[in-house]
Amino acid sequence: MFNFFKKLFGQADIEQIIEAINAGAMLVDVRTPREFGLGSVKGAVNVPLDNITKQLGLFEGKNNIVVFCRSGNRSAQAKNVLQQNGIEKVFNGGTWNDVDKLVNNK
């Protein structure tokens, strides 16, 4: 399973994401509330991409943040927005299913 993630994210990136999750990273699903309601990662919060800039206070002081969505596109955008606003320890986890597998060590 981890070989798939290594190909998708690269060796260093997947190891950093796993370390961040193991260190208690804030898990952020950036899909719409409707999508989030259909299923997400246990313990994740829903902050839709369109609301990221309005919710910057949620992220301040967090050591690690893993963002994810349906395909990895919106989470890449969310990562960029957060980093452009001075929040540095942000990782694009890709899809919510990928992050769910990492959280549950599947």
Sheet holding 65-69, edge to edge: 45-46, 26-29, 65-69, 90-95
The more confidently predicted of residues 61 and 11 is 61
Q: What's the pLDDT band for 27 if we cut at 50, 70, 90?
A: very high
Q: Do the beta carbons of residue 14 and residue 53 sit within 8 Å? A: no
Question: Average of pLDDT values for 14-18?
Answer: 90
Q: What's the pLDDT band for 10 if we cut at 50, 70, 90?
A: very low
Helix (H) or strand (E) holding 78: helix 73-84
DSSP-assigned letters across all residues of 38-51: T---TT-EE--GGG
The CATH code of the domain that includes 23 is: 3.40.250.10
* pLDDT computed for residue 3 by the predictor: 52
pTM: 0.88
Q: Which of 26, 65, 66, 69 is catalytic?
A: 69
Q: What's the pLDDT band for 11 if we cut at 50, 70, 90?
A: very low
The domain in which residue 95 lies consists of 2-103
> pLDDT for 43-53, tens place per residue?
999 999 999 99
Q: What is the mean pLDDT of the chain?
A: 90
69 as an active site residue: the answer is yes
Q: Taking the CB of residue 88, how many other CB atoms lie within 10 A of it?
A: 8
Domain count, the chain: 1
